[in-house]
Amino acid sequence: MRTMFIAISYLLFSNAILLGVSGDGPCGNTSIFSLAWGLTSCVDAAKNPSAKPPRSCCTKTADIFSKTSAGCICSIFLSPLAKQVGIKPAVAITIPKRCGLKKRPVGYKCGRKNTTL
């Protein structure tokens, strides 16, 4: 687990340097990188549809929804950064539902293949 955390940290940091961290995008003034960093506890749940998302993952996901739009969470889960870590976008998009978040945009379609939240 520690090795996975170090690998994820490296990937996130290297992408921040390569892609920059300006936040003029779907997450407002907050960069996708910084939000993705907060979702590291979601990695296992974002790879395995049977895995129960940990409380820390659900709390951070709810926090993102309260401060941004559904487009932001889609951008995080569909980003090249998420792909590098091995996240399966179609699985990751189900995390808000699996967390039981009541304030999620039900039926919202994310970009690729119209994946539904």
**CATH label of the domain that carries residue 53:** 1.10.110.10
Question: Considering the domain boundaries, does residue 9 fall inside one?
Answer: no
- CA–CA distance, 110 with 117 (Å, rounded to integer): 7
Question: Considering the domain boundaries, does residue 69 fall inside one?
Answer: yes
Q: Which of 8, 92, 80, 83 is nearest to 49 (CA)?
A: 92
Domain of 88, in residue numbers: 28-111
pLDDT in tens, the chain (117 residues): 666 555 565 555 555 444 444 446 788 888 888 888 889 999 999 999 999 999 999 999 999 888 887 888 888 988 888 888 889 888 988 899 999 988 777 777 776 554 555
